[in-house]
A and B are shown apart, each in its own frame.
Chain A
């Protein structure tokens, strides 16, 4: 049973560009959350998607947007990249009421130069 799959694993972008990161949830999970993990820090919640809608959002600007598809996979889009957006982006999937925690992917390492 495949867990959470994220692509790409690494990415280098130039300041001002736009980037799209992708996530396929664990089989049977219908909810996807995205986190940003800066170097040496704990992950920070960006937003969560359920039933193709943004369910809740953390303290991130509108440059960060997302989408969830009917097959529950998800994309994270970041516009007008800043150097400070360099981080590991983690996707986590769960059932809609994740009493049993979340399953995380291995992340996408984004470097903005």
Chain B
């Protein structure tokens, strides 16, 4: 079974600075997808960024980028120019490439990101 580990229960960063959230995963599969989701107090999970394992290029979405290290099974999220609206729980998630996604997502325990004004 796949596991996802987020070793930072909480992170704090000054507004406008850069912060990196860590995620490691364990799998024996070669075909899979990785995601970062944001969960604000409204509770809705919002997709931040996704990465296909077969792609070597790191995904980027505006101020959000990932550092995908496949051999090390590491998938960190970098948030540049942090904004107050970035404050939320951030979850790293894994999805197998087998079965068309029928297995659902495997989530880590999350990192609570605090933005200091």
**Which residues in A have some Cβ–Cβ distance to B below 8 Å?**
31, 33, 35, 40-45, 47-48, 50, 55-56, 58, 88, 90, 92, 94, 96-107, 109
Contact = CB atoms under 8 A, between A and B. Distances in A.
A101 B35 contact: yes
Categorize the interface residue count of chain B.
20 to 34
Contact of A101 (B4, B47, B103): B47
B50 A101 contact: yes
23 contacts: A35-B105, A42-B4, A42-B91, A42-B93, A45-B103, A45-B104, A48-B102, A48-B103, A55-B102, A56-B99, A56-B102, A56-B104, A90-B45, A92-B45, A94-B101, A96-B101, A101-B35, A102-B45, A103-B47, A104-B37, A105-B44, A106-B42, A107-B43
Contacts of A45: 103-106
Contacts of A42: 4, 91, 93, 107-110
Interface of B: 4, 33, 35, 37, 42-47, 50, 52, 91, 93, 95, 99-110
Contacts, number: 71
A96 B102 CA distance: 8
A13 to B, nearest CB: 19
A9 to B, nearest CB: 9
